[in-house]
Amino acid sequence: MEPERFDQLDAEDALANRQYTDLNEVEGDIREESLDGTYKEIDYLKSDQNWEDVGVPGEIKLLLWGQGLRRPSKIQAKVMRLFSANLKTDILAQSQNGSGKTMAFLMPSMMICREWEEQLKRSPEVEGKAMAPLVVIFSDTKELCIQTFKVVRLYVSQPYLKPSLLLKETTELDLGANVLVTTMGTFFNFLNKRQIVLDRLRLLVLDETDKLLTQDFGKSKYPQLVKRLSERHPDARIAMFSATFPPQCLELINSLDRRITKIVTQKQDIQLKNLTHYFMKCGRQGKLDFISHFFSEFGKYLLENSVIIFVNSRKFAETFGRRLAEKGHKCTVLTSEMDPEVRQAAMEDFRAGKIKVLITTNLLSRGIDNRKVSVVINLDIPFIFGSSPKQIDAETYLHRAGRTGRFGDKGVAINVVENPEDLGQLMRLKDEYGLNLIQMTVENFRSVVDAAESNQEYNYKKREFMEENL
């Protein structure tokens, strides 16, 4: 996937074009200077620029500092430089999991609300008293919507920021909100009832774009929404974010008559190089004993860390969770079929560290951010549904593994392979993305546990250093 350079923009943007041609170039890593004068890599996701360098206003910078964000990540720096240039173009931004994509679209959202606050005070009321947001943020699951909304609320000390969370079960709209976080299906439901109008929309964000635009609903409804935006609000921009953009997703995006600037990483840049990837040969009947033994060895480690176990079906998640609990291991199962309130409570407990082991499907493979997750286990290798012969789902693998090793932390991804076919597909992924894949055996089992404990010590030291120095 070749990045689209700024020199592909129209001649009217020539000046900005020259200034921003390096957005897809490699930036230097933030480095730590040791006592002996040598330098060691400390965070390859951080930009070496300051917030001022990328156009973030002073009061927003202070808010970011208050949340411990002393410098932008590389993807945040690139997106903010583009927004600050005020180029009339949509943005497609690809960056690995845990690199700061959420703040990369929340900062422009805050700047848009800040810019339009005074103008909206002088504008007429929207007919019908419908919600007329400046920014709409689409996420693909309820859990991700809630997580994003909570991040937005960290910055509501600014009077111009008025966020609202809109879920399927919402009965009353916050008509004064200017930032709306919701799913695409819920949004269209209220839009069709004219309870939401597009009169003031300035930014549409697609978080986990590939997931949104490869599902049947998104493939049919998104072009309709883009057409309405293009006709009624030609200055409104669309920002698309994900760690992966498969061909079918790019085909839909490119088929729409929009000018797009792509900030795209190459495969070697999304290989999750801060993770150690393992594979364990284990038949389906032996998986329970393997996980039980693993947690017995991990007992002390789980006091301060969390583990996500991914499987390919709801039925297997429920059955395996029940059998693991029968062996004396505390765990929680989370699937899309569960009651929404139960799902939300489970996620709250997981983020708070009350739940240490979560068994789930691809429901939580994307976007969910919990830095306590230090180990991800693919109890089932993710395969493309209906593929024959079976073909590994590379995008899903990268998203699943990306639930650990957030923001440059180190993490462990363990893959249980049932047969030579599974192993062959995993090896293909290793070759394609350059994964550091290591076989896990009975003999080196303890070394994997030791590696996870070593990662924990490194992560704590790194965070302390970043907080004190950056």
Tell me: the pLDDT tens digits for 252-263? 999 998 888 888
pLDDT surpassing 70 at residue 303: no
Interval 48-78: pLDDT, tens: 778 888 888 888 888 888 877 878 888 888 8
Query: What is the model's pLDDT at position 5?
Result: 33
Query: What is the model's pLDDT at position 373?
Result: 87
Query: What is the model's pLDDT at position 203?
Result: 95
Q: Domains in the chain, ordered, with CATH?
A: 6-269 (3.40.50.300), 275-469 (3.40.50.300)
Mean pLDDT of the chain: 80
* Integer CA distances (angstroms), 6 to 25, 75, 98, 394, in order: 12, 16, 26, 29
Query: What is the model's pLDDT at position 463?
Result: 60
Query: What is the model's pLDDT at position 78?
Result: 85
Query: What is the model's pLDDT at position 191?
Result: 94
pLDDT surpassing 60 at residue 158: yes
Query: What is the model's pLDDT at position 273?
Result: 67
pLDDT more than 70, % of the chain: 81
Interval 191-224: pLDDT, tens: 999 999 998 999 999 998 988 998 889 999 999 9
